[in-house]
Structure 1
Amino acid sequence: MTTAARSSRLGLRATPQQETVLRRAAEVSNKSMTEFILDSAYQAAERTLLDQRLFLATSSQSQALLSMLDRPEQDNPGLKDLFSRSAPWDT
């Protein structure tokens, strides 16, 4: 996560048991409750967004994709540049 100033407020309600577990986990992690919850939620959100693998395509779209994948590889300077950069979540 970046070190930008936090300007948005999030609110949530928890059961006493959930609060106890979150407090203990935050203490073990040497983080405040806010830090622990926000870091954990952010990591879960990133995983959820990065793990989107299902997409729908018509038969003709699927065939066009398979045809493109079967073509011989070609040099792609833009793609080479893209893959040489660090991922945004790694910086």
Structure 2
Amino acid sequence: MADLKGTRWTLRVTEPADQVVRAAALTAHRNLTDFVVGAAVGEAERVLADRTRFVLDEPTWSAFVDLLDRPAREPDGLRELLTTDSVFG
């Protein structure tokens, strides 16, 4: 069973959502709280992982590293843009 430390979630769900989640929890031999928290944490970790790490196969990783390692380019007009007085003051 999950270690409940005092944070309480109160949720309202539709009857069909309640039925399917309860059926899935029963099928997984888990209580409703453990099932819902596990699903929510798993989805949260997936969403956050998309924003903090990425996985590439070896050829794509090599191409990515090559791009990172090459010297920076100076696009035409960049130096002029950065040395011109701003229109904002």
Q: TM-score, normalised by structure 1?
A: 0.54
**Alpha-carbon distance between aligned partners in 2 of 1:4 and 1:24, rounded to the nearest angstrom:** 23
Q: Secondary structure at the residue paired with 1:8?
A: coil
Q: Identity across aligned pairs (percent)?
A: 34
Amino acid at match of 2:21: L
Aligned residues: 57
Number of the residue aligned with 1:31: 30
Q: Which runs of 5+ in 1 are unaligned?
A: 54-65, 72-91
- Larger Rg belongs to: 2
User: Which portions of structure 1, spanning 4 or more consecutive aligned residues, are displaced by more than 6 angstroms?
Assistant: none
Aligned CA-pair RMSD: 2.5
Q: Which runs of 5+ in 2 are unaligned?
A: 53-64, 71-89
Q: Secondary structure at the residue paired with 2:12?
A: coil
1:46-65 matches, cutoff 5 A: 46-52=45-51
**Alpha-carbon distance between aligned partners in 2 of 1:6 and 1:32, rounded to the nearest angstrom:** 17
**Alpha-carbon distance between aligned partners in 1 of 2:4 and 2:14, rounded to the nearest angstrom:** 29
Give CA-to-partner distance per residue, 1:1-43, whole Å, 9 cap, x none: xx75422111110111000000000001110011100000000
Q: TM-score, normalised by structure 2?
A: 0.55
Q: Secondary structure at the residue paired with 2:51?
A: coil
